[in-house]
């Protein structure tokens, strides 16, 4: 028997899914301290090696581009969207990770990076 209720259920899930992806990470929303704390953990684990513990770009250097000084005004001026893209996708000698950071981890780590330049 084919029940129309199944399709209602599917539609419900689809709509919820779209709603969620639109709702999360609203631009301009202040990241909570918990998110920043989480971002710090990601940073120390994955980013500090190149960008330095304080994000000043003084970690080890590989061949190619120097790790960006994340506290510089050049970085500060860039939009979340641009920086998130770099964090999420990588850029030149900055890796995009074997397993890419999740959207949420990228946002958390960016929230932390933003605190470094204050
Ligand atoms: C293997 C070294 C390396 C690691 C690890 C690394 N980066 Fe980078 N990162 C770079 C390099 C090199 C650049 C400069 C790329 C360029 O401009 O071509 C860069 C650029 C950036 C930028 C762009 C700055 C700007 O002004 O456009 C951001 C943001 C950034 N990194 C954040 C992170 C975060 C967050 C992590 C950890 C998840 C991380 N990086 C890990 C090497 C690294």
Task: Go through the chain and tell me how many residues it has.
Answer: 118
Residue matched to tokens 């506290």: 71
Higher-confidence residue of 58 and 18: namely 58
**pLDDT tens digits, one per residue of 31-90:** 899 999 999 999 999 899 889 999 998 876 655 678 899 999 999 999 999 999 888 888
Residues in the ligand 1 pocket, defined by CB under 6 Å? 42-43, 46-47, 49-51, 62, 65, 67-68, 70, 74-75, 78, 83, 86-87, 91-95, 101, 109, 113
Domain-embedded: residue 14:
no
d(CA 66, CA 77): 19
Is residue 70, in this structure, part of any structural domain at all?
yes
Domain count within the chain: 1
Domain with residue 88: its CATH number is 1.10.760.10
Look at residue 48 and tell me if it is in a domain.
Answer: yes
40 or 3, which is more confident?
40
pTM: 0.74
> Residue 90 to residues 34, 100, 110: CA-CA distances in angstroms?
25, 9, 13
10-14, 37-41, 102-106, 110-114: which range is least confident on average? Answer: 10-14
């Amino acid at each position: 028997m084919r029940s129309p209720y199944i399709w209602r259920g599917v539609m419900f899930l689809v709509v919820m899914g779209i709603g969620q992806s639109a709702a999360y990470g609203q631009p301009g929303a202040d990241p909570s301290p918990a998110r920043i704390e989480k971002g710090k953990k990601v940073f120390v684990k994955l980013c500090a090696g190149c960008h330095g513990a304080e994000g000043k770009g003084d970690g080890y250097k590989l061949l190619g581009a120097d790790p960006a000084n994340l506290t510089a005004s050049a970085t500060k001026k860039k939009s979340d969207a641009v920086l998130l893209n770099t964090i999420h996708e990588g850029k030149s000698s900055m890796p995009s990770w074997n397993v890419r950071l999740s959207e949420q981890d990228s946002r958390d780590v960016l929230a932390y990076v933003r605190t470094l330049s204050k």
